[in-house]
Structure 1
Amino acid sequence: MKNTLQTRLRPLLVLMAAAFALHAALSPSAQADDKAAAAPKAALTVTTAKPSTSRLPITIGANGNITAWQEASIGSESNGLRLTEVKVNVGDVVDKGDVLATFSSETVNADLAQAKAALMEAEASAAEATANAQRARALDTSGALSAQQISQYLTNEQMAKARVASAKAAVASQSLRLKYTQVTAPDSGVISARMATVGAVAGPGTELFRMIRQGRLEWRAEVTAADLPKIRTGATAIVKAANGTELTGKVRMVAPTVDPQNRFALVYVDLPAVKGKDGAAFKAGMFASGRFELGASEALTLPQQAVVVRDGFSYVFRVNPDKKVSRIKVTAGRRIGEQVEIVSGIDANSQVVVSGAGFLNDGDVVSVAAAPAPAPVPAGSAAKAAKPR
């Protein structure tokens, strides 16, 4: 009897359990819980921003050497004379006409005295020959002298005058040799090299000193052929020395040719004359970097942390309406402060991840948090901008 009752109640119990399960499945709260369990979980909480429009300076970066504007080679014009005194050394500032070195002048003074004596003798002989020629001319019509004698007196007069001219030339030559015993500066400037040694016997043409004319230096910047047409004479250039000191120069000349080996052209930038600590930072022969300032233009910019570099390319993560991010390849341009120019890849309406971008992958779900407004690009920051080469 008991077993029969259990057998009859078993189907009823099964139907009651199925009804309860169906009721639970159709409950709104249960459906919401199931949807919440099925929704993907946010991988990271991030802040976002849209690209802003800023006015960025247009610059071209370059490298090059600091060289002398012009160098003067100062040599010896004396022949076989001994150096007795050297008055300047490397680094000395000299003016035009200053005496740099002195040669022994005893031999030259003796030769000059001899030339002057020969001139006096020639002038005396010329005076006598002139007097005889005048008397011969006076007696020409009297017949006292033959035509041959008169011609001889006149010829002697011309020869005596020639000897005087020759003696004067010898005196001038010896005077010039005496002048050459003092080596003078052909222009004002700075002595950059000294080869003169006291006691040495220098031949004609021997270089004794090398001088940077007027102390002027220039920066010879190497610029690519693509950037060369953008640079004009008179453009401003900022030159940075190895210790960080900067000078503002002006483009003096753009080379008319491009080196066929490295495809770079030289741009010559005049540097201002500086003294003291800044002057010590710029020396001829030094390597220096710099940039040319060519104005400004409008550009889309993002905070620097929004741009992620992976495998040598620049990317940003765009937030889609479903809170998933898409990795977008962009082209980065100029940089100023914490802002980076976006040349291509996104538009001004794209919502881009800023903080946390470096930890994301394509397709990740993010939770967006509020972020403070980005600071505007400072108006006077042109000197800090640099265009990638």
Structure 2
Amino acid sequence: MKKVKTTPLAVSLLSLVIVSTLAFALLSTRSNAAGDKPAQQQARPALTVTTIQPAAASLPLRLAANGNVAAWQEAIIGSEATGLRLAEVRANVGDEVKAGQLLARFAAETVQADVAQALASLREAEARVQEAAGNAERARALQASGAMSRQEVSQLLTAELTAKARVEAARATLQVQQLRLQQTRVVAPDDGVISSRSATVGAVAGNGAELFRMIRQGRLEWRAEVTSAELPRIRPGSVATITAANGTQVQGTVRMVAPTVDVQSRTALVYVDLPRALPSLAPQAQVRAGMFARGEFNLGETAALTVPQQAVVLRDGFTYVFRLNPDSRVSQLKVRTGRRFGEQVEVLEGIKPQDQLVASGAGFLNEGDLVKVVPAAVQPAAVQPAAR
């Protein structure tokens, strides 16, 4: 057999071909591995979520408003006596008083003297009328006999009438003085709470001067400001929940809706009766006249489509939910929300009752993300994005 002779050049070329072949095979393997890795990553779910369907619920229909708390009626108790000194003041701010209760007393010595004088004048007039009546009776008896002239008879009869008129005038004067004596006692015109006092012992009050102010019957009202568009929805008898600035909540009832609307603000007042605000009643007594309060009118209930609050996402000033598609990917839907009741949010438009919505982890999702759905019972305690 003939032996083949190899040269160094041939050996070098053969080695170069073998190394090139091995290098090409290695690069091809790495390229295929690198190409398969993104495909595997894209197939992995972005998040593990739970889903829900929109629920049909009956939500309370409420109308929010603001307004001031005021007295139902504030009575001004003034002085009817003129030029008398205030001798005693028995009521102070915050006191509960009853109708007819003595609040203050003026010095009555001068008026008592006037009463005594008027009484004496009455008795004098009554004595004179008796004398005039006797003279008139005799004149009538003698008139037929001609013993007295007609002029004398007429004078005696006129004197009787004049005496009777003086009795009536004296009696009226006595009644005036007795009324003045009664006015030295300032009494409460009704049950209520004293809200202001300007009476000072020793002061000489003029006629009509204010001494006290009183919240009649201790009744307060909330004067809510409602726009003209919302006004037709409120009816007398509706229930309202009022929250004062200190957090106190009370229930009230609409008594009256104002018949006019303010031409400047285009709002109308709704008068809501509140529980009696006597100081001995708590916590109603914590709502006081002059407070600013906010409240809500209960206008009944209406049907609504609701979703949990955690399913709603706020982005760029708009509200969204994520719908689960059959391919396990999600679509971002823009919705319009309405009322909130507890953890439920009303959705007015943007979804359908049969939609499957992401309930947990919606804030981590984007349009088209692939998700893994698990039952709510095995939902992870803390929803975290899956590792990419």
Give the shorter-chain TM-score range.
0.7 to 0.9
Given that 2:275 and 2:284 are in contact with CA atoms closer than 8 Å, whether structure 1 keeps it comes out as: no
Structure 1 residue 237: Cα displacement: 1.6
Given that 2:320 and 2:333 are in contact with CA atoms closer than 8 Å, whether structure 1 keeps it comes out as: yes
State how far apart, in whole Å, the 1-side matches of 2:202 and 2:234 are. Answer: 52
**Residue type at the aligned position of 2:108:** S
SS at match of 2:298: strand
Which stretch has the larger CA shift, 121-130 or 323-332?
A: 323-332
**Residue type at the aligned position of 1:282:** V
State how far apart, in whole Å, the 2-side matches of 1:8 and 1:356 are. Answer: 63
Structure 1 residue 201: Cα displacement: 0.6
State how far apart, in whole Å, the 1-side matches of 2:230 and 2:377 are. Answer: 38
- Residues 82-102 of structure 1: CA distance to partner in whole angstroms, max 9, x if unpaired? 100000001111111111100
The normalised TM-score by structure 1 is 0.85
Given that 1:242 and 1:281 are in contact with CA atoms closer than 8 Å, whether structure 2 keeps it comes out as: no
SS at match of 1:115: helix
**Residue type at the aligned position of 1:352:** L
Is 1:54 paired with 2:57?
Answer: yes
Is 1:294 paired with 2:299?
Answer: yes
Which of 72, 75, 79 matches 2:75?
72
State how far apart, in whole Å, the 1-side matches of 2:245 and 2:375 are. Answer: 43
Report how many residues are paired. Answer: 369
State how far apart, in whole Å, the 2-side matches of 1:259 and 1:276 are. Answer: 35
SS at match of 1:102: strand
Matches within 5 A, 1:6-17: none
Is 1:241 paired with 2:244?
Answer: yes
State how far apart, in whole Å, the 1-side matches of 2:37 and 2:195 are. Answer: 86
Matches within 5 A, 1:208-227: 208-227=211-230
Is 1:337 paired with 2:342?
Answer: yes
Structure 1 residue 220: Cα displacement: 1.6
Given that 1:195 and 1:209 are in contact with CA atoms closer than 8 Å, whether structure 2 keeps it comes out as: yes
SS at match of 2:282: helix
**Residue type at the aligned position of 1:144:** A
Give the unaligned 5+ runs of structure 2: 380-388
SS at match of 1:277: coil
**Residue type at the aligned position of 1:271:** L
Which of 362, 366, 374 matches 1:361?
366
Structure 1 residue 129: Cα displacement: 1.3
Which stretch has the larger CA shift, 87-96 or 40-49?
A: 40-49
SS at match of 2:256: strand
- Residues 185-244 of structure 1: CA distance to partner in whole angstroms, max 9, x if unpaired? 111111111111111111111111111111111222222333322222111222223333
Give the unaligned 5+ runs of structure 1: 375-389
State how far apart, in whole Å, the 1-side matches of 2:156 and 2:231 are. Answer: 78
Which stretch has the larger CA shift, 119-128 or 42-51?
A: 42-51
Which of 260, 263, 266 matches 1:260?
263
State how far apart, in whole Å, the 1-side matches of 2:153 and 2:110 are. Answer: 43
Which of 125, 128, 147 matches 2:128?
125
Structure 1 residue 259: Cα displacement: 2.3
State how far apart, in whole Å, the 2-side matches of 1:310 and 1:241 are. Answer: 34
Match for residue 81 of structure 1? 84
- Residues 148-168 of structure 1: CA distance to partner in whole angstroms, max 9, x if unpaired? 111111111111111111111
**Residue type at the aligned position of 1:150:** V
Is 1:370 paired with 2:375?
Answer: yes
Given that 2:217 and 2:276 are in contact with CA atoms closer than 8 Å, whether structure 1 keeps it comes out as: no
**Residue type at the aligned position of 1:353:** V
**Residue type at the aligned position of 1:172:** Q
Match for residue 384 of structure 1? none
The normalised TM-score by structure 2 is 0.85
Match for residue 327 of structure 1? 332
Given that 2:139 and 2:156 are in contact with CA atoms closer than 8 Å, whether structure 1 keeps it comes out as: yes
Which stretch has the larger CA shift, 137-146 or 38-47?
A: 38-47
State how far apart, in whole Å, the 1-side matches of 2:360 and 2:294 are. Answer: 33
State how far apart, in whole Å, the 1-side matches of 2:11 and 2:260 are. Answer: 108
**Residue type at the aligned position of 1:251:** V
Residues 43/180 of structure 1: CA separation in 2 closer, same or farther (3 Å cut) = same
**Residue type at the aligned position of 2:325:** N
Match for residue 357 of structure 2? 352
Structure 1 residue 35: Cα displacement: 8.2
Aligned Cα RMSD in Å?
3.2
Structure 1 residue 5: Cα displacement: 7.5
Match for residue 386 of structure 2? none
SS at match of 2:338: strand
State how far apart, in whole Å, the 1-side matches of 2:207 and 2:51 are. Answer: 77
Given that 2:75 and 2:215 are in contact with CA atoms closer than 8 Å, whether structure 1 keeps it comes out as: yes
Given that 2:332 and 2:367 are in contact with CA atoms closer than 8 Å, whether structure 1 keeps it comes out as: yes
State how far apart, in whole Å, the 2-side matches of 1:310 and 1:226 are. Answer: 31
